[in-house]
Amino acid sequence: MKFRRQSRMRMNSEMKADSLSDIMFFLMLFFLIMSTMIAPQVIKIKLPKADAGKSLSKRNLMLSVNADQKYFIDKNEVPLESLESELSKMIKPGQELTVIIRADKDTHWQDVVNLVAVSNKLKLNVSLAVEKGSS
């Protein structure tokens, strides 16, 4: 009697990666679009540079002034005359609020002083925003 040895079938160990590359492409596209949509500073201001600085973790309120002497609370434009009243509406009693002043580097000093004066009058903590620069 003859025994027949059955040949073993070799298994092919390929992996199809076509769908994986499609998924990676769509993930990359999603993150690219989302990173351009999320912009913390909508008002275009060129900040001056400073070597040292720290981040603040308390509740912050942005006061901005651009080179055209337009004042903003967060993203809303406010005339200088009503800046104090608008700020006082946003302050809750007992709340520790820090005002971050963002001023265009081409802004006159008087505009920055106006923002600091209004903040001091309402007894708010004041910080100046700058870009980190090299020496």
Quickly tell me which residue has 């925003």 as its tokens. Answer: 129
What is the percent of the chain where pLDDT is above 70?
A: 78
Q: CATH assignment of 49-132? A: 3.30.420.270
Taking only the tens place, the pLDDT of each residue in 101-112 is 888 888 888 888
Closest C-alpha among 85, 62, 81, 82 to residue 72: 62
Beta strands in 74-123 (DSSP E): 76-78, 97-103
The pairing of strands 76-78 and 97-103 is: unpaired
Domain ranges of the chain: 49-132
* Confidence check: pLDDT of 40 > 60: no
State the pTM of this model: 0.56
Instruction: Compute the distance between CA of residue 52 and CA of residue 134 in angstroms, rounded to an integer.
Output: 10
Phi (first) and psi of residue 38, to 5 degrees: -90, 100
Residue 103, judged by CB atoms within 10 A of its CB (0-12, 13-18, 19+), counts as buried
